[in-house]
């Protein structure tokens, strides 16, 4: 093994220098994100989907009460993708370490005062029915 123990160097040693060439079948492309409009169409109640808004990575979620929200797709704890997490009631749960965020305000349940940028796109369908 070479002295350079970085992952990139180890992969190059194991697979050859071509492993990261743009046309290499071993290279994983970052999955393309949906627009907010596409994500809203694909997002069911109690689900969260990665999207992009003007170049910014966001997550679109539909909360338990039907409210549709968009939030920054980065957990303030350690940068996990909130879109990899799940919706529990009206909270967004980060899949990496389980931190929870209020889906309406972005407020972190574990660290008062800490929040993710969060915007309500449309209010709950349930609330408008009553
Ligand atoms: S990165 Fe989200 S809880 Fe740790």
pLDDT tens digits, one per residue of 19-51:
767 677 776 677 789 999 999 999 999 999 999
Task: Locate the ligand 1 atom nearest the alpha carbon of residue 79 and give its number.
Answer: 1
> Within this chain, do residues 75 and 24 fall inside the same structural domain, yes or no?
no
User: Count of domains in the chain?
Assistant: 2
pLDDT confidence of residue 125: 62
CA distance 42 to 34: 9
- Residue 112 is classified by DSSP as T
Report pLDDT digits (tens) over 65-82. 999 999 999 999 999 999
Residues 52 and 90 both lie in one domain: yes
Domain that holds residue 3: 1-30
| Ligand 1 shell residues, CB under 6 Å | 75, 77-80, 94, 96-99
pTM of the complete model: 0.75
Query: Is the pLDDT at 116 greater than 60, yes or no?
Result: yes
Cα-based distances in Å from 25 to 15, 22, 116: 12, 9, 36
Please check whether residues 49 and 23 belong to one and the same domain: no
pLDDT at residue 130 in the model:
38
**53 shares its domain with 20:** no
On whether both 103 and 121 belong to a single domain, the answer is: yes
Q: Are residues 43 and 21 in the same domain?
A: no
pLDDT of residue 41: 94
> Are the beta carbons of 118 and 63 closer than 8 angstroms?
no
Claim to verify: residue 105 and residue 118 sit in the same structural domain = yes
């Amino acid at each position: 093994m070479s002295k350079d123990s970085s992952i990139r160097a180890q992969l190059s040693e194991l697979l050859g220098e071509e492993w990261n060439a743009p046309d290499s079948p071993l290279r994983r492309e970052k999955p393309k994100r949906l627009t907010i409009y596409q994500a809203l169409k694909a997002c069911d109640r109690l689900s969260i989907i990665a999207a992009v808004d003007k170049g910014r990575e966001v997550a679109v979620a539909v909360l338990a009460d039907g409210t549709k929200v968009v939030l920054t797709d980065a957990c303030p704890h350690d940068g996990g993708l909130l879109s990899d997490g799940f919706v529990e009631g009206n909270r967004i749960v980060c899949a990496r370490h389980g931190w929870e965020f209020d889906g309406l305000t972005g407020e972190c349940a574990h660290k008062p005062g800490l929040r993710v940028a969060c915007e309500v796109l449309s209010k709950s369908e349930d609330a408008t029915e009553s």
